[in-house]
Amino acid sequence: MFMGIFFAVILFVLVGFQFQAFHKGKCVGTVVCKMGDHRNSTFRGYIAMLVVIKPYRGRGIATELVTRSIQVMMESGCEEVTLEAEVTNKGALALYGRLGFIRAKRLFRYYLNGVDAFRLKLLFPQPELHPFLPMMADRDATQMHDDHSPTSEEFSELHRNL
């Protein structure tokens, strides 16, 4: 599928990066991304730009570039990835849809040409702990015995956390 095409990654000052696809020494595609805190509550990735030159489209290069970017963001601890795509860009919307992105919002007249955009999001599954587990971790190991019955205070704490 990628016969003769190789991929390279370029890192920017810790939070930004790009992947590039090359064929015969010529850059035929690139994706530019960044990662950072969003509103002090979510660490998220952002895809700022994706392009594959026309003669190389339809070969899976864009999918590979985006997939590699998502992998970096996931491994870096991002909780989600966002981007904007023109509502008229059927190819991009189909690509991101296949990769699991959802349409989170329509942005009216988002682009300078007056075209609307969709804000697309890919949410990563977050591990969920049972409410009782943090309380168990906080307990002193010396207090943990098979015959230990919870005190009324521990019992109340457990129910407050449920």
H-type alpha helices, 10-149? 61-75, 90-98, 132-138
Contact (Cβ atoms closer than 8 angstroms) between residue 38 and residue 44: yes
The domains located in the chain, with CATH, are 5-123 (3.40.630.30), 132-161 (no CATH)
Query: CA 156 to CA 145: how far, in whole Å?
Result: 20
Cα separations in angstroms, 161 against 126, 145, 157 = 19, 22, 6
User: What pLDDT does residue 12 have?
Assistant: 53
pTM of full prediction above 0.75? no
Closest to 94 measured CA to CA, from 125, 45, 50, 35? 50
First to last CA, the chain: 51
| Helix axes 61-75 and 90-98, enclosed angle (nearest 10) | 50
User: What pLDDT does residue 159 have?
Assistant: 43
Per-residue pLDDT of the chain (162 residues; tens, 9 = 90+): 555 666 655 555 556 899 999 999 999 999 999 998 888 778 999 999 999 999 999 999 999 999 999 999 999 999 999 999 999 999 999 999 999 999 999 999 999 999 999 999 999 887 665 555 555 445 444 444 444 444 555 544 444 444
Sign of the torsion angle spanned by Cα atoms 148, 154, 156, 162: negative
Mean pLDDT, the chain, rounded, equals 81
